[in-house]
Amino acid sequence: MIMEDLREKLRGQAESLGAAYFGVADLTGVKKFVVDQGGEFLAQFPRAVSVGYPLANAIVGQLHQHENEFVARCYHHHIYTAVTNQLDQIALRCATLIQEGGYQAFPVLSRGSFDRKRHCGIFSHKLAGHLAGLGWIGKSCLLVTPDRGVRVRWATVLTDADLPAKRVIAKDGCGKCRACVDICPVHAYTGRPFSPDEPRELRFDARKCHEYLSEREKRVQERVCGLCIRACPIGQGNRLKTRSKRLEHERI
């Protein structure tokens, strides 16, 4: 199968199920990082299909009241049930298309920790999105898109299909902004800009975040905070670019 055709079929499949972002990342340059985090078996997948699903502004916008049990419950359901389940469906459908084309495909779970000591998943969805040119890694260690900011959730399909990959990586657009850093209730972020050569620990204390979410679960029955997502000024009620224009700049 012609790889350009397979890529466009995957894009069409993802968009038909509600994905607002689609891209392909070349993982050959970060192979060691990927293997160190998730295991040697991931070395067989040199490409990553990245898809992003938008979050509802009206729900994210209420997170300044995240002590309110109803607000916390709505956000948790929207993010960790509705959106997560949809992303897993998109990843599964894309993986099936790749497999039908004669290639291996591994849909990565869109949520959950693989390593409970480091509090990280088996693979970094943010890394895939970044390398696919869909955004940059902000001071919150989240993937920041140019139009919706961090109000997007991600899924990834790893594959050995030699899909055309994005060659231009998005530049850091955060500048001097520290909104996500300053609002964190446990000061989990240092404010240090992202650098691929530095460990996450220099920018983010995942243990502090994890412990705060555990404490929140005891108080409001949900592991919810999201203040860093709400605080990001990008995407706060701004009129988005039209779908056609947005997708045009994402194409190779």
For each of the domains in the chain, give its residue range(s) and CATH number, in order of start: 3-235 (3.40.109)
Q: Which residue has the higher pLDDT, 185 or 250?
A: 185
Does 116 score more than 80 pLDDT? no
Q: What's the CA gap between 209 and 188, in Å, rounded?
A: 6
Query: Do the Cβ atoms of 90 and 133 come closer than 8 Å?
Result: no
Does 2 score more than 60 pLDDT? yes
Q: Which two tokens stand for residue 198?
A: 């530095």
Task: Choose among 102, 103, 122, 100: nearest CA to 112.
Answer: 122
The lowest-confidence range among 42-46, 111-115, 242-246 is 242-246
pLDDT of residue 163: 97
Q: Is this structure's pTM higher than 0.85?
A: yes
Task: Choose among 82, 79, 52, 85: nearest CA to 63.
Answer: 79
Question: In Å, what is the CA distance from 33 to each residue of 57, 127, 156, 167?
Answer: 33, 10, 16, 19
Does 76 score more than 80 pLDDT? yes
pLDDT of residue 21: 97
